[in-house]
Each structure stands twice: as structure tokens, then as C-alpha cells.
Chain A
Amino acid sequence: MQIALDASMIRLSEQVEFISELDDIDVLVRTYKPRLLRFVAFSIGDQDIAESITQDCFLRAYNGRASFRGDCSVSTWLFSIANNLIRDHLRTKKFQFWRKARATALDITDIASSVPDGMSSPETRMLAHERAGQVRQAIELLSENQRRVFLMRFTEELTLQEISDTIGMPINTVKTHLHRAVVAVRAQLGGSR
């Protein structure tokens, strides 16, 4: 009885913590925007639309924070909202037009110009640039589902269960998509034998 009460109290305190985090939109954006923007940008391949979707995602999360039950982490919840927005955008004709136009398509050469400070030597920067470009090209060739699960697993480091919950896909299907994605990326990186 006491154990159950303690567990419910811990759960309640966690929920309060999540809700207070969601109440401050500035903190929410500062904490999660880089990861969320990266995920959206490389899922759809357009940085302007990615910015728009990311902002929309935070706005929806803030407006719907009362419906957050604390069953998952705030991060997983945000990725779930972003995933739904990406899916909606992929269905719209507007996005079809932009996908063809590619006016603001992501360019890994521009992105790689801002290599982290830790990679100070020119050789290291060049190598990182080259590797990142290869992965970028490999990701672009994946199907939409493969790309999303690959990014969630390897870039955002979500667990398989979190990916399954986020995109509403059975865990075995997630594994299948991931397996195919790894094989494709491995081949693109020149490692397939």
C-alpha cells in the first residue's frame, strides 16, 4: 500500500515537473529547438519549411500542454507532434510544390561550414565535412519512413519503443525500417560487401 502510494507520488511529482517545463515556452524552445529543428529539417529536406513546422510544433505543444499526461518524456511528446506535422505537410499539395522547387533545400556544404569548435584542425574539419555529407546523401535516398526512424534512432537516440510510440508504428515494423535504412546508409558509405 505504501509502495503504491510512493510510486503515485513520484509519478505526480514528475508530471508536475513536466507541466512546469511546458508552461515556459522560452525554456521549452531553448531546450528542444536544436534537436527538433534538425530532425524536421533532415526529415523533409527543406530548412524554411522545417523552421515553420518546428515553430508550429512548439505552439501546439504550448497550447495543448494541459493534455500532456506525463506518460512519456517531453522530448518524445514533442517529436510525436513534429512527426504528425511532417506527415501532414508531406500530404499537402503545397509541400509537393516546394519539394519540387527546393528553393531552400538543405545544403550540407553550407551546414558543414559550421563545424563544431572541437574540430579545430583543418584535416579533422574536412573529414567531418566529408563524412557528414555522405550521411546526408545516404539519408536523402531513404524512404520517408526509413529516414524518420533512422534519424530518431541515430541522431536523436530514441529507443525503439519511443520511436514506436512517437510514430505509432509497431516495434517490429520500426526494426524492419531501421534495418533497411542501416543497410542503405552502409552501402552509401562504401562499407557494403
Chain B
Amino acid sequence: MTEFPHSNPPLGADHAQRPGTHWTEDDFSNYMIGLEVAPAVMRHLDICAACSAEARNFQLSIESFNDVTLEWSENRPYARALVPETKPSFGGWLPSAAWAVAAAVVFSVGLPMALQHRNASVEDRPANVQPDTQVASLADENSAAAIDRDNKLMMAVAFELDRADPQPVGFGEITASKEHKRLTEPGNP
């Protein structure tokens, strides 16, 4: 092969006719890269066995590399599970529809039940007693005065029951006894 400096000018129109000169590095790389080369450069390839063989050797080496490495990469195990498996999709509307149906069931069943329970609670409560006054009444019933009053009432009832009453009294004859009056008068123990 003929040695020539790399600083040689690019191949001109008459380069193909000049024996002993070969492609420059730029000519070679431009040809291999696929860039546009002068027609004279292409003509030189036809008449110069050395440059032609070198170009062919370069191309064959690249082809061998490509074939061998592609075969290698194709034989690598194929990892299928790249993304998590997803359930079959029924479209974006199905989850929304399911939630809507669930909400409708809750409202249609739960709401009447809640209203019925509320009405029953209201019916059980004494009509003339407000909820907030019930607690106050219970507190009054447990006071000392209320217990004393109840005791007196019970004693009066017991007294009336113990008293002998041979004849049923008439409706207009019922009068409070002296003892009852005494016991129920304020200030008596």
C-alpha cells in the first residue's frame, strides 16, 4: 500500500487517473458514513484494488459484528412481566356506574330505615315532655323534698287502706280524713 500524508487534498476530478494515491481519511469516512462523495472518489474505488479491499473489509467487519451481536441479543431471555398484569378493562365507565348503583342502594334502603327509626323514637317519647326537660324532671324527682313528699303520700295511702270501711262510700261522700289532712299539711313531719 502506498503511504501518503493525511493532509493530502481531497480527491479531485483527476484523482482517479493518478496512480499511487488512495483515499484520504475524509474520503473513506465520508463514504462509509454515507455522505456525499465526489464522482472521482467513486471512480477510484473501481480501479484501486487496495482501497476497494479495505472498504470491503470494513463493511464485512461491521456486518459480522451486527449479525453476531443481533443473534446474541435475540437469544437473550424475553422478560414478559414488564408491567403489572391488569384485569380486563370494561371501560372507564364501569367503576363509576358501580359506585352510582351502590350509592343508590344505600339511599333507597338506608334512608327509609333511618327515617322509620327516627319516627319510632319520637312516638315513644311523652308527647307533653320536651326532650331537654326530661333530664331536669328526673333530677327533681331525686331531690330530698320530692322523696319526702312521696313518703308522705305513701303513708297517707297506707293509712287509708288500713282504715276499716264496712260500707262502700258513695261518690259524693268521699272526704279527706283528719289524719290525712294532718299528714298532708305543710310543715308536719
Contact = CB atoms under 8 A, between A and B. Distances in A.
Interface of A: 25-26, 29-30, 33-35, 37-38, 41-42, 51, 55, 58-59, 62, 108, 111-112, 114-116, 118-119, 127-129, 131-132, 134-136, 153-155, 160, 175, 178-179, 182-183, 185-186, 189, 191-193
Classify the secondary structure of B's interface with A: helix
Interface of B: 1-4, 22, 25-26, 28-30, 32-35, 54, 57-58, 60-62, 64-76, 78-80, 82-83
Nearest to A159: B34
Contacts of B67: 115-116, 118-119, 128, 132
B187 to A, nearest CB: 93
A178 B66 contact: no
A50 to B, nearest CB: 9
Contact of A182 (B2, B3, B28): B28
16 contacts: A29-B80, A33-B76, A33-B78, A34-B70, A38-B70, A38-B73, A41-B73, A114-B72, A115-B67, A115-B68, A116-B71, A131-B64, A132-B64, A179-B26, A186-B25, A192-B25
Contacts of B34: 153, 160
Nearest to A28: B82
Task: Pick the most buried of B3, B66, B83: most chain A CB atoms within 10 A of its CB.
Answer: B66
